[in-house]
């Protein structure tokens, strides 16, 4: 067994364990933390596949941003997880059945004549100076420039739409208008009433 294979098996074992714990632990915070572990381990596996850019992006974006945000939400909301877990045992047989069917389908597909793994040879390992990030960047900014720009426009539309749909003045919210507060005159607030003094 080469060292690479050993590393792969260790990472794969951790990944399977972490992924299993995500759906079995009771506490949502623990589940989120296990998900972080699962992401991190898959980043390691991608690193083994010489896809270092994707692996780093996975850590930066998913572990660094998305999961932290998710943890934040879980902690802030103080979810009561008990109702979500109700009927876990009840649905378990169906879940296992679905899982089994998926495994059988995958086995069929992989062992089929046309989709056999032998049809797809292992790509030769790249040399030490090869940079995956550079290769991706070159493609993205040369061959796929047009698509890259359109994707940027789509993001812009998403931002415009999100702001247009959420930012508004709610009629029920009360606003302070400092200018009016400063310019207020005595007459606006105070009413002098002349009345006869009461006797006895």
CA distance 94 to 84: 17
Task: List, as one string, the DSSP characters of the chain.
Answer: --HHHHHHHHHHHHHHHHHHHHHH-S-HHHHHHHHHHHHHHHHHHHHHTT-HHHHHHIIIIIIIIIHHHHHHHHHHHT---HHHHTTHHHHHHHHHHHHHHHHHHHHHHHHSTTT-GGGSPPPPPPPTT--HHHHHHHHHHTTTHHHHHHHHHHHHHHHHHHHHHH----TTS----HHHHHT--HHHH------PPPP-
Least distance (Å) between residue 146 CB and other proteins? 4
Query: Closest approach of Cβ 13 to other proteins, in Å?
Result: 30
For the bound state, the minimum distance from the C-beta of residue 157 to other proteins, rounded and expressed in Å, comes to 5
Does the footprint of other proteins cover residue 164 (CB under 8 A)? yes
Q: 117, 165, 179, 182: which one contacts other proteins (CB under 8 A)?
A: 165
Residue 3 interacts with other proteins (CB under 8 A): yes or no: no
Ranges within 68-107 binding other proteins (CB under 8 A): none
Nearer to other proteins (CB atom), residue 142 or residue 194: 142
For position 158 contacting other proteins by CB under 8 A, the verdict is yes
157 binds other proteins (CB under 8 A): yes
Residue 30 in contact with residue 46, Cβ under 8 Å? no
Shortest reach from residue 102's CB to other proteins, in Å: 17
Please identify, using beta-carbon distances, which residue of 26 and 177 lies nearer to other proteins.
Answer: 177
48: Cβ contacts below 8 Å, ≥ 6 apart? 4, 7, 8, 11
Min CB(181)–other proteins separation in Å: 17
By rule CB under 8 A, what count of residues binds other proteins?
A: 24
Q: At its nearest, how many Å lie between other proteins and the CB of residue 116?
A: 9
Site residues, other proteins (CB under 8 A):
113-115, 119, 142-147, 150-151, 153-154, 156-158, 160-161, 164-165, 168-169, 171
């Amino acid at each position: 067994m080469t060292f690479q294979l050993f590393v792969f098996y260790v990472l794969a074992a951790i990944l399977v364990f972490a992924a299993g714990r995500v759906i079995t632990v009771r506490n949502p915070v623990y589940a989120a933390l296990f998900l972080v572990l699962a992401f991190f381990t898959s980043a390691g596996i991608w690193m083994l596949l010489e896809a270092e850019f994707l692996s780093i992006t996975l850590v930066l974006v998913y572990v660094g941003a998305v999961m932290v945000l998710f943890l934040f939400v879980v902690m802030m909301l103080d979810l009561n997880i008990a109702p979500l877990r109700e009927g876990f045992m009840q649905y378990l047989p169906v879940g296992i059945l679905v899982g089994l069917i998926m495994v059988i389908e995958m086995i069929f597909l992989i062992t089929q004549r046309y989709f056999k793994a032998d049809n797809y040879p292992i790509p030769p390992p790249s040399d030490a100076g090869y940079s995956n990030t550079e290769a991706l960047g070159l493609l993205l900014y040369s061959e796929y420039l047009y698509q890259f720009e359109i994707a940027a426009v789509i993001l812009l539309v998403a931002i415009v739409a999100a702001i247009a749909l959420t930012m508004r003045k709610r009629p029920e919210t009360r606003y302070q208008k400092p200018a009016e507060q400063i310019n207020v005159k005595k007459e606006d607030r105070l009413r002098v009433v002349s009345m006869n003094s009461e006797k006895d």
